[in-house]
A = this chain, B = another copy of it.
Amino acid sequence: MAKVSFDNKIMFTYEAKAFPGVNKVAELVREDIFLVTGFRAGEYSKGSKCKNLVIFGTVDKSDYLDDLDRRGLIKLERIRGKWEVYSFQIIDNPMEGVDHALIIAGSDKRGTIYGLFHLSELLGVSPLVNWNHCFPKKRKNVTLTDEVNFISKEPSVKYRGFFINDEWPAFGNWATEHFGGINASCYEHIFELLLRLKGNYLWPAMWRSNFSMDGPGLESARLADEYGVVMSTSHHEPCMRSGEEYSLLRGEDSIYGDDWSFLNNREGITRFWRDGLVRNKAFENVITLGMRGERDSRLLGTDKGLKENIDLLRDVLKTQNELIKEIVDEDLDKVPRQMVLFTEVEEFFYGDDKTKGLMDDPELEGVTLMLSDNNCGYTRTLPDERMRSHKGGYGMYYHMDMHGGPYSYQWIGGTYLPRVWEQMTSAYEFGVRDIWVVNVGDVGTQEFGLSYFLDLAYDIERWGGEDPAVTIEYTDRWVEQQFGGMMPLSCRNRVKKVIWDYTDLCEKRKHEIMNAHVYHPLHFGEAQRILDTSEDIIKECASLRKKIEEKDLSAFISLLYYPACGTANLMKMWILAGRNELFAGQNRIEANEIAALVDKCVQEDANLIDEYESVDSGFYKGFGKSEHIGFVNWNDEDDRFPVRHLVYGANSPRMLVSRKDDEHYMTGLEWCDRPQTWKDMLRPDVCSIEFDLINASTKPYRFVIRTGCKWMMFDRYEGEVKVRERIRLSVDKSSLTEKVVGSFSVESIGYAKAEITVETAPITAVGCLSKDKAGAFLESDGIICMEAGNFSRREDTKGCGFKVLSPYGRSGSAVKVFPVTADFYKAKERPLVEYRFLTEAEGEFELCFYLAPTTPTIFKPEHYLGFGLNDGEVQLVNTVWDTERPFFLSPQWEQEAKDSVKKVTATVNCPEGENVLRFYGVSPAIVLERIVLVRKGISLPESYLGPLESYRIQATS
């Protein structure tokens, strides 16, 4: 078995004819080896003796490889001409004087680079080794055998990269602090990060930066090319010139004129583009075509019609293509070009009934059409079957960071992988395979989501597919990669849970738009669950942190502690703020204690940022700077920290009695109290109720609980209440033979006495627990809530059918039809899932489907779901509210993107007893998470996530 040992004798070949960028990367890999083994590899001189050798090179750029190929030891044919492929082989005695060798051969520059970094990964070095000082585990006697030999495949997506965007204050400050600006020194780190993550493509910072001017000069562009990084520019920056360049160069005496208008200043603008192409033509680029107004605005004012815009844009494209032919290459097919269908450009592309859009326009032939997401991680239009044949293919501009509508999220990256999995895998299926670029804002804290995005783009077979559980595997692998060197497996498993927990918090609601009124402080325990999760995260992180060596703190804090605790502390702060407000409104004296806790969270937020920015001698200084608390506009204008509410207690002890998840309370006072009946325990699986004895005064009271019902048991019958005491009422249901109604009293001795009625029933009292009802959900208090995954039956159609997605979405799971491109709107047969539930009486219900906040895949505002109740016909419902305007930028888009849910309601009439609800596959990109039915006349308690799932009859009962 051939092998290579990374001992103190290990050497690297070097060849002058190699790509300089390849040699630079080899230096990085040598440094990686040193981190693992403690031995720095030497430089091999041709012909000398060597025990262990690493030979690396690119097809047609390496004498070593040519020689080995000639001698049949490697087969360059297997990689030659391929895109970013490498072979990785261990051979004994490859040549005279060399005992063992690892041979890394790339099909091209980046193939070789990926091969080199593959070595680092095999040695346990994280791609984030230099970006986050994520040090590998030190190892002795490191040996690789030929078991690792393989030839890589071509990446799934051709261009894979990210966009550094809206880079102030965070990225800008970081770059200035460490490199004196957003210059080539800064970009060298970005290029390394990109390549180690298997990316190859970049949209550089452009808010107040000019990539091709600030290097200084072209230095950044030159360096990118050296490293094999393909540069492009963002959606509104044509011809390799950054958005700000025109502002810098324009003027009355400027050769470019003083008007960013192709109508009024055609000559100046054309010259501006020409000079950009001339400047950057030597480098590997994807050239952006098209034109928008200044600063992300419309090309022409809103007073101009669609046709005028399209005609102008066509003229622009023609001009740009002619410039490219003249300056870059006569053969346009050889020049990678893109056009981004962002915001209003989408409309210009699709046109409308009267005006043909740019689709199929000859000027776009061979141009990659970049589609976009809804700014919040949900793709918008996707190519239909006919469109997929477009020469030039499609790309996707995706967001993990946003500065703009419907709201900005820029502070901490909290990307929830299952969403990226679902959306980008689906986009790939729709034919979006040529460019994937993700807006990662300031880069810092986006490492986790970015890693997955680029890995998915590199290998969709491995990380895509039809089961989001693959993201659990990915998370496990990522944690091993980053934290394997600093903590034992038991800790790493805790880290995995923390990552899932904090990204799940972000998936439910983003930091910036979290506030005191998102989650109801009490209803359905939703706020408590968020609080528990947040406190668990904080506790776990604090506990893990104690075990981390000083040298590893940089990676630990930047990749876990700060994003997780920052998120958890912020969520906790707002949950407490909401509770503080509600409790203050009820005069609960506990409100004051909670106000103090809110204050602690506010201080902790600053502490966490400070810690992140000072760890590792300020390695991340700048990255924590984004405003992130209490946005009331799409941006941080007028944002505000939580308000704290302070109360005075009543003048004498004042008891409030309240079920723990209920905002209503009894006072037990004589005249104005509202009686309560607790029916919770009618639900078969509920055998206890927790309730609080609350003090609305600073003066304590003694309480006593009394009941004449033998079946009621309390965990305490008397005591003192200073602030709040939680009591549990339990019933041994096995002792019951029929439904019972009883009451108990809680007396605040000397002040008040509340009398509460309780209803309960034995489990067998549910009259319909026969075996054939198994799987049906029971109405309770007028509500039926079913998780989408808990259907009773599934019916597929011609290879199409629903699958359960888990983990996924706000409630953890969902169902979706596969294959994702299938459209059943006009089909006669549709796949379906079937839900069964039992009502207590005939009646009208409001039926509400909770769906993932996806957008229509077609430009028309049509997005259908279908359902049918019992023997009823299929009802097709267009989930789009306003069909007179594009979905994107509509109020529905805004609300759904903020709340991470699409709710579609209908009124249905249900007979008493068993009902069957069918949910059909209709339009693509419909993902069902939950179904909630509420009986007419019942008011569903206000909440963000909705009710708890109803009781489901067990198969065994």
Contacts and interface: CB of A to CB of B under 8 A. Distances in A.
A672 B641 contact: no
B638 A667 contact: yes
Contacts of A633: 671-672
A325 interface: no
20 contacts: A584-B643, A587-B638, A587-B640, A627-B651, A633-B671, A633-B672, A634-B671, A634-B672, A635-B671, A635-B672, A637-B667, A637-B671, A638-B667, A638-B669, A638-B696, A641-B648, A643-B647, A644-B645, A644-B647, A646-B646
A190 interface: no
Contacts of A685: none
A693 to B, nearest CB: 16
A595 interface: yes
A574 to B, nearest CB: 13
A613 to B, nearest CB: 14
Given A585-B643, A634-B672, A638-B654, 19 more contacts: A584-B643, A587-B640, A587-B641, A602-B648, A633-B671, A635-B672, A637-B667, A637-B670, A638-B669, A638-B672, A638-B696, A640-B648, A641-B647, A641-B650, A642-B648, A643-B646, A643-B647, A644-B645, A645-B645
Nearest to A602: B648
A639 interface: yes
Contacts of A670: 637
Contacts of A640: 587, 647-648, 650, 696
A696 B667 CA distance: 39
B595 A672 contact: no
Contacts of A627: 651
Interface string A671-689: 1110000000000000000
Interface in A776-821: none
Contacts of A650: 639-641
Nearest to A672: B633
A646 B644 contact: yes
Given A602-B648, A645-B643, A651-B627, A637 B595 contact: no
Closest 5 CB pairs of A and B: A641-B648, A633-B672, A587-B640, A637-B669, A644-B646
Interface in A389-420: none
Contacts of A634: 671-672
A647 B696 CA distance: 23
Interface residues of A, number: 31
A627 B587 CA distance: 15
Interface string A605-640: 000000000000000000000010000011101111
A671 B640 CA distance: 17
Contacts of A587: 638, 640-641
B602 A637 contact: no
A573 to B, nearest CB: 11
Nearest to A625: B651
Nearest to A591: B643
Interface string A648-675: 1011001000000000000101111100
A104 B642 CA distance: 75
A32 to B, nearest CB: 40
A619 B850 CA distance: 68
Contacts of A595: 646
B643 A673 contact: no
Contacts of A648: 602, 640-642
A507 to B, nearest CB: 26
A650 B642 CA distance: 11
Contacts of A646: 595, 643-646
Interface in A531-549: none
A584 B581 CA distance: 13
Contacts of A585: 643
A650 B631 CA distance: 11
A513 to B, nearest CB: 14
A577 to B, nearest CB: 11
A752 B652 CA distance: 50
Nearest to A647: B643
A639 B645 CA distance: 17
Interface in A908-930: none
A673 B637 contact: yes
A672 B634 CA distance: 8
Interface string A697-724: 0000000000000000000000000000
A681 B646 CA distance: 41
Interface string A583-601: 0110100000001000000
Nearest to A656: B638
A647 B630 CA distance: 12
A833 B587 CA distance: 50
A667 B602 CA distance: 24
A670 B650 CA distance: 46
A218 to B, nearest CB: 32
A270 to B, nearest CB: 31
A633 B640 CA distance: 34
A592 to B, nearest CB: 10
A634 B673 CA distance: 12
A135 B673 CA distance: 47
Nearest to A669: B637
A641 B589 CA distance: 12
A643 B592 CA distance: 10
A355 to B, nearest CB: 31
A736 B309 CA distance: 46
Contacts of A645: 643-646
A673 B673 CA distance: 46
A596 to B, nearest CB: 11
Nearest to A648: B641
Given A602-B648, A645-B643, A672 B584 contact: no
A508 to B, nearest CB: 25
Nearest to A632: B672
A690 to B, nearest CB: 23
Contacts of A647: 640-641, 643-644
Contacts of A696: 638, 640
A267 B40 CA distance: 114
